Amino acid sequence: MFIDEAAIAVKGGDGGDGMVAWRREKYVPKGGPAGGDGGHGGSVYLVAEPNVNTLVEFRYKKLFAAKSGEAGGTSNKSGRSAADLIVPVPVGTIISRDGSPFADLGEPGKRVLVAKGGRGGLGNQHFATARRQAPHYAEKGEPGEEHALSMELRLLADAGIVGAPNAGKSTLLSVISAAKPKIADYPFTTIEPELGVVRLNEETSFVAVDVPGLIEGAHAGAGLGTRFLRHIQRTRVLLHLLDGMGTPDEVRAERAMIEGELRAAGLIEKPRLLVLSKMDLPQARETYAALRAEWPDLLAISSATGQGVRELLYAAWNVIKETPAPSFEPDETPRIDLTPAEAFHVVRDGDVFVVSGPRVERLAAMTDFDNDEAMGRFERALDKMGVERRLRELGIATGDTVRIGDVEFDYT
């Protein structure tokens, strides 16, 4: 089954919690804090794997989560960090995260970080000072990133065979490569793209793709072409196959229709070779004789007899050599740069004051609110960052609710 779209969720592993522990050894009085740090959570990467050619695996598994880091131990022992999760996807997959495209895995082995694992929390050994020599708190592990991903596969092929249904596209692909597409005398025999490797000699080859037949309105959802037009976006040359069994007027109309669909899909500027098929039949020879003066670049082939096929392949190869591979660099994901003076934002929503910002949200997520000492450290950090001053400017009163990330507490 060929699946070229998928939606999944990814989650980086949470960092392990820091440890509250004490050094207790014989003959070592007042050993002090000795809580170890938590291990880092694993990150999630997507990697382009040549041996994967469809997104079918993602129909059944929707969540990919890395493991969390282990908690810190006693005697300053750090917890074990979790391994990264590597998820293979087909070469040519475009990744969108939270609705914005940000990665194109168009080369074998290329990989992208899609969910970063959380940092491990610090143990209480890090919070000892001259004034506070026995801290009874440690950091919680930082939560891993969570994102919704959508994936779109665009096949990697050098030449794309396009045309109306029953123009002979699948037959041509079966003749020039080892591919075995379905061939029959009814429309829409091809219902999914077919790839084939075309070998001109021992040192020269290219990849061709046959896409389902296009009909008028394919770019807007008619027929089967709308889902598969994307698979010729990476090609360097299009082989525009025309059905030689039509009359000259029918072939002209067929060409105009296909070009209209390519134009609507933004593909009309691609290099194209115009090809009339089925030259082993008398009607095709008559049509070719009527059109070759009007279209001097028209090539004629017969997949059944091999007439003109090799000339077509070398013509396609010459275009491929001279045409650079198209680049599909995704748009830059917009980012908000927070200056030190704008390290957080406070918005009042009724009686709830919502504080946002990466640093302050991370601080809240890694604070143990059941620990009075940890709460004191949290409040001092907010005061130092200027959050409390901003809350007072907005009119906060005792008992009002403050929300930072997933944490809510009453202001005192």
Encode pLDDT of 227-255 as tens digits: 567 778 888 999 999 999 999 999 999 99
β-bridge partners, 362 = none
Name the 3-class secondary structure at 323: coil
At 113, give phi and psi (nearest 5°).
-80, 120
Contacts 24+ apart (CB under 8 A), 181-186: 181/210
Q: How far is CA 8 from CA 45, 52, 97, 228, in A?
A: 13, 17, 10, 21
Q: DSSP string covering 324-357, please?
A: PPPP-PPPPPP--PPPGGGS-EEEEETTEEEEE-
Q: Average pLDDT, stretch 301-310?
A: 93
Band (336; pLDDT cuts 50, 70, 90): very low
Band (351; pLDDT cuts 50, 70, 90): confident
Residue 322 DSSP one-character state: H
pLDDT at 186 over 50: no
pLDDT at 187 over 80: no
Choose among 324, 154, 330: nearest CA to 234: 154
Question: Residue 372 and residue 365: Cα distance in Å, rounded?
Answer: 16
Encode pLDDT of 88-131 as tens digits: 999 889 899 877 888 889 889 999 999 999 999 999 999 988 88
Encode pLDDT of 365-412 as tens digits: 999 988 999 988 998 998 898 988 988 888 888 888 999 988 888 888
Looking at per-residue pLDDT, the higher value among 263 and 334 belongs to 263
* Domains in the chain with CATH codes: 5-153 (2.70.210.12), 159-322 (3.40.50.300), 340-410 (3.30.300.350)
How deeply is 26 buried, as exposed, middle or buried, from its count of CB atoms within 10 A (0-12, 13-18, 19+)? exposed
Ramachandran bin of 319, using left for φ above 0, alpha for ψ from -120 to 50, beta for the remaining angles? alpha
How deeply is 70 buried, as exposed, middle or buried, from its count of CB atoms within 10 A (0-12, 13-18, 19+)? buried
Of the chain, the end-to-end C-alpha distance in Å amounts to 60
Band (333; pLDDT cuts 50, 70, 90): very low
Tokens of 211: 């896409």
- Report the pLDDT value the prediction gives residue 330, as an integer from 0 to 100: 55
Q: How far is CA 70 from CA 146, 151, 193, 208, 371, in A?
A: 19, 32, 46, 49, 21
Question: Residue 301 and residue 280: Cα distance in Å, rounded?
Answer: 8
Helix, strand and coil percent figures for the chain, each rounded to 5: 25, 25, 50
β-bridge partners, 276 = 242, 300
- Report the pLDDT value the prediction gives residue 312, as an integer from 0 to 100: 94
Tokens of 349: 């929503």
CB atoms within 10 A of CB 194: 23
User: Which residue reads 């927070």 in tokens?
Assistant: 338
Encode pLDDT of 12-47 as tens digits: 999 999 999 998 877 776 778 999 999 999 999 999
Contacts of 34 (CB under 8 A, 6+ apart): 21, 22, 23, 74, 75, 76, 123, 125
Q: Average pLDDT, stretch 180-186?
A: 50
Average pLDDT, the chain: 85
Contacts of 349 (CB under 8 A, 6+ apart): none
